Amino acid sequence: MPQPHLLSILNEGVLTLTIERPEALNALNSRVIAELAQAIDAAQTNAAAHVIILTGSGSKAFVAGADIKEFADFDAPKGKELARLGQESLFNRIERSAKPVIAAINGFALGGGLELALASHVRIASDTAKMGLPEVSLGVIPGYGGTQRLPQIVGKGKAMEMILTARMIGAEDALACGLVNQVVALEDLLPAADKMARSMMKNSPKALQTAIQAILAGYEDGINGFEAEITCFGASFETEDFKEGTQAFIEKRKPQFPGK
């Protein structure tokens, strides 16, 4: 039985998924993609998991990209299939996760590795992290959503620069351009991600899910984000979480949201 490439630890509501392939700097081969997709799926129906943290094993890499050795002899149809499968089975599912996903970037986050962080809802980097989309240096382009999500997060100009130069940037530059939300020392990375997870977790799980849905709506073709917000806002009034949240405010106590 081969060793799994994913370590999954649930601690008081926070599910930490660690990619365990240090010999290849945690590169995403088809097994890692499948194990991660399965874990993200399972988390959606796991009532004990409220926030997900994604990180890489060791202190060198978060994820150094898609596995170059795995796709080196692919032709166009296989390349297309690789991107489609990866996007549909994993990256889109992370972005659409009903439970917030925090990327804890502990080193190199390159190519598919940075795309994994971009699909997450929030990114925290160690001060040792290096990030980039170096695909054009290999004669390909980003295929796990990088050409779309990087400009959404840092703006078109900075995304053009990063993708066309293929250069890596350090954590402080990533913070300055909004690529990451926070930078901390490596030893403080998981505690910082855990702290952020817990500040999300004290809120209504249903409202977190709906907020993610409304934010993403604005990035979908043919959907009016403001209309989506109105619909999502209205739907919130029908939830138990809304009744509990508002009642708790009026009674000057902490809310006890259902399912927690």
Q: HSE of 209 in the Cβ direction (CA atoms, 13 Å)?
A: 13
> Hey, how many other C-beta atoms are within 10 angstroms of the C-beta on 155?
13
β-partners of residue 110 are 132
> Hey, how many other C-beta atoms are within 10 angstroms of the C-beta on 252?
6
Q: Give 84 or 243: the residue with its C-beta nearer to ligand CAA.
A: 84
Q: How far is the CB of 40 from ligand CAA (least distance, A)?
A: 18
- Quote the CA–CA distance of 136 and 157 in Å, as a whole number: 17
- Quote the CA–CA distance of 94 and 112 in Å, as a whole number: 13
Catalytic-residue membership of 135? yes
Footprint of ligand CAA (CB under 6 A): 24-25, 27, 64-69, 108, 110-112, 115, 134-135, 138, 142-144, 146
Q: Give 144 or 257: the residue with its C-beta nearer to ligand CAA.
A: 144
Using alpha carbons, select from 206, 207, 20, 200 the residue that is nearest to residue 102: 200
Backbone CA torsion sign across 35, 41, 44, 48: negative
Which of 20, 70, 81, 135 is an active site residue?
135
Which of 35, 70, 88, 115 is an active site residue?
115
Q: How far is the CB of 51 from ligand CAA (least distance, A)?
A: 26
Do residues 15 and 46 touch, judged by C-beta distance below 8 A? yes
Q: How far is the CB of 71 from ligand CAA (least distance, A)?
A: 8
Q: Give 100 or 142: the residue with its C-beta nearer to ligand CAA.
A: 142
- Quote the CA–CA distance of 188 and 51 in Å, as a whole number: 18
Catalytic-residue membership of 115? yes
- Quote the CA–CA distance of 208 and 192 in Å, as a whole number: 20
Q: Give 108 or 257: the residue with its C-beta nearer to ligand CAA.
A: 108
Q: Give 68 or 160: the residue with its C-beta nearer to ligand CAA.
A: 68
Active site residues: 115, 135
